[in-house]
């Protein structure tokens, strides 16, 4: 084992013993495993999969820089119109502990059949 590998292993085991790598429920941040959007006919439908502590305090969507208040509080959208081309989604999720997670993702708005 190289010196670098031994040092890395020593640091990792020391941090684990101190409990730094084991966050408590109160400090764990919400994570969004992924954002999934389906598109077709110049329309989108999206689901943000957040695994933060429930219940979520807030969910806010911004699409192509435009805040969408009608999508507040939901992680699964209804079908909404989009302009053909690349679309940016920014979803801000605050979990029950007040921890914020931001998902910033791009998808493509299709004019053809749903994918």
Give the per-residue pLDDT at 51.
74
pLDDT per residue as tens digits for the range 43-85: 999 998 887 788 888 999 999 999 999 999 999 999 999 999 9
Q: Give the whole-angstrom CA distance, residue 45 versus residue 27.
A: 32
Q: Tell me the CATH number at 32.
A: 2.60.40.10
Q: How confident is the model at residue 28 (pLDDT cuts 50, 70, 90)?
A: low
Identify whether 10 is part of a domain: no
| C-alpha span between 113 and 31 (Å, rounded) | 31
Tally of domains in the chain: 1
For the cut 60, the answer to whether the pLDDT of residue 1 exceeds it is: no
pLDDT of residue 31: 56
- Report d(CA 111, CA 49) in Å as an integer: 25
Nearest CA to 109 among 61, 49, 38, 46? 38
């Amino acid at each position: 084992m190289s010196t670098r590998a031994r040092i890395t292993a020593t640091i990792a085991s020391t941090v684990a013993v101190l409990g730094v790598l084991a966050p408590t429920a109160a400090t764990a941040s919400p994570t969004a495993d992924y954002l999934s959007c389906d598109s077709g006919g110049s329309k989108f439908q999206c689901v943000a999969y957040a695994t933060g502590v429930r219940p979520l305090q807030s969910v806010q969507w911004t699409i192509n820089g435009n805040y969408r208040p009608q999508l507040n509080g939901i992680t699964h959208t209804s079908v909404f119109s989009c302009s053909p081309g690349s679309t940016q989604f920014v979803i801000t999720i605050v979990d029950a502990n007040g921890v914020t997670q931001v998902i910033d993702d791009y998808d493509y708005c299709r004019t053809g059949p749903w994918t």
